Each structure stands twice: as structure tokens, then as C-alpha cells.
Amino acid sequence: MENIVIKIREKSGFIIDMDGVIYHGNKLLPGVNEFLGWLEESGKQYLFLTNASQRTPKELHEKLERLGINVGEEHFYTSALATAGFLTSQKPDGSAFIIGDAGLINALYSVGYTTNNINPDYVVVGDTSSYNFEKIELAVNLVLRGAKLIGTNPDISGPVENGITPSVKALIAPIEIASGKKAYFVGKPNPLMMRIALKKLGVKREDAIVIGDRMDTDIRCGLESEIDTLLVLSGITSRAEIDNFPYRPRYILSGVIDLIQ
């Protein structure tokens, strides 16, 4: 393991998932304080790249602050921001029916999008706990009338303190099934997220590493972007589940704590 740690620590750019890597719900994972301290002291470039769309960068900053970590807002990038960027590149100043929380709503407002539950250009679904039958029914009919269906990320579930919680792919499935239309997902493993991350970090892909807990999003996204990958076993994916996938991460560790011990 020592050789693996040395190789990882030589990287200059770190693209880091949050849920399952940094915390579970409101519980900080072991070694995170020391790992982030090492990143800062070593002058490493790092970006928290999360598929979770509920929170704004300011809210993510404040959440880590409550957990005892002070990281500037510039170190956060979410699937909600990526979705807003994608939609405005496709149709500037459009409108959307949004099933999602503040992070997604604010991201779309920030690029000039308006909410519309009559004839929107898009139906956009993000992570949310405010999910009900009425919203599903309306979304289905809007899609049938021509709105394009967009998901902020293709995660089926995400880790929380007491287990897992349904994520966007699970939430959007009833709309896909009832409307017969497939959603386009912007977040990881869409390589768009990785290209944005590298630009923000200002590093070459050869000098970067993706740290995540999911084989189907984090690791796949890194592989498809030709960036080295580190799977940590502190989140969704267990060691036994790795063989269920036709690809492997470059490195595997128990958690970020292994990088500073």
C-alpha cells in the first residue's frame, strides 16, 4: 500500500467526491481533516466534484464548516451547476419545470432560466426530498407535450448516516417509464464533469486523480476521461462488489485516511 500512497501523493490535482468520501450525511469520515490539511500545506489543487444537486457551493462550504472544516466556495462544483451550464449552452434563457432543491433552482436561475409548469423547454430532476405524485404526474405530461427530460446525475442511491437514500435515477424512473422518454444525465460519469474539473484546477489529466466511492460514476468517469482513479471503500462500493464491473479503478484504499497515515 505504501507505493500506492506515494504515487497518489505525487499528483498535483485532486478531483474529490463528497458523499461517501468526505462524509456520510452529517458525519465526517476518519482522516478527512488531516487529508485536507495535507492538500493545503502541499499546495495541491483540489476540487470537490459532487453529483449531489441539493446544495449550492455556499451551502456545501457551510456544511463542512459545521463539521469543523473551512474550505472556500471556489473548491466546490456540483451536478446542478453542470446541468445549468449544459442547458444554457443548448438553449440560452430557456425555461424548466424543476423537481429539485435550492442548489438546482439557484443554479438554473443564475444562468437566466425561469420556472415554467405550463410549456417548459425542459423537465429537470435533481436530488430532493420534496418528491410527490403530483409532481411526477405533471412532469410526465410536460414531457409528453414536448419538454426534454434532464437528470442532474444518474446515481440510483447515495449514502446517508443510517443507510442509503434514493437519488436521481431512481426518482426520474417513473417519469421515463410513464412517458416512454429517456432522460439525459449531465453529472458523473458524463465526461463533461471531468473536463470542467480539469479546467477549474488548471492541471493536465496526467497530473490529476479522481477520488470517489462509486464504481458506476466516479471511477467510470475518470476512466472515460483518461484520468487515474482511486476508489475508497468508505461509501457505496464494497471490495466484494468491484468484480461486478467490467473495469477496475487504478487504486483502491479503505478511505482518504490511508493517504495521510
121 belongs to the catalytic site: no
Which own/partner pairs from 211-214 qualify as long-range (CB within 8 Å, at least 24 positions apart)? 211/14, 211/15, 211/16, 211/17, 211/21, 211/256, 212/16, 212/17, 212/20, 212/21, 212/188, 213/17, 213/19, 213/20, 213/21, 213/159, 213/237, 214/17, 214/20, 214/155
DSSP 19: B
What are the grid coordinates assigned to 221, written together? Answer: 468517469
Catalytic residue among 19, 155, 218, 228: 19
Please, what is the angle between helix 168-179 and helix 133-144, to 10°?
A: 50
Phi and psi, residue 133, nearest 5°: -65, -40
What are the grid coordinates assigned to 251, written together? Answer: 487504486
Other Cβ atoms within 10 Å of 224 Cβ, number: 14
127 belongs to the catalytic site: no
End-to-end CA distance of the chain: 11
Distance separating alpha carbons of residues 184 and 65, to the nearest angstrom: 33
Catalytic residue among 17, 218, 228, 258: 17
Catalytic residues: 17, 19
